[in-house]
Amino acid sequence: MVRIKRGNVARKHRAKILHLAKGFRGSHSRLFRIANGQVIKALRYSYVGRKQRKHQFRKLWITRINAVSRKLWSINYSTFISKLRHAKIKLNRKILAQIAIMDPLTFQNIKNEIFN
């Protein structure tokens, strides 16, 4: 049986892992075995983080809409969204939050549409 030396393949694999570990602190970026564990962990966290980012942004948009609607008209978020649905105005929370912050006049017009 012929002996298989994986020199080139193994070196490329290690270099790839160490490249992914660039910026990690101490031996986590220099030693392959330790870096490999940290890269696997980091990739797992980044996968979960991509899902969490969506929840966090939605939470932020809801908070912004709630703050502006309470400040301007003294109605809470849930009432505002309910009135929007009833008026058949289809704007998502991201756009509503942008309008609330950037253009209060347009947000006021939305309110006028809802309560008419």
The string of pLDDT tens digits covering residues 1-52 is 788 788 899 999 999 999 999 999 999 999 999 999 999 999 999 999 999 9
Residue in this structure with the two tokens 């030396």, named with its chain if needed: 5
- For residue 45 the two structure tokens come to 């966290």
Domains and CATH numbers, the chain: 7-114 (1.10.1900.20)
- For residue 50 the two structure tokens come to 């991509």
- How many CB atoms neighbour CB 86 within 10 A? 9
Q: What is the CA radius of gyration of the chain?
A: 26
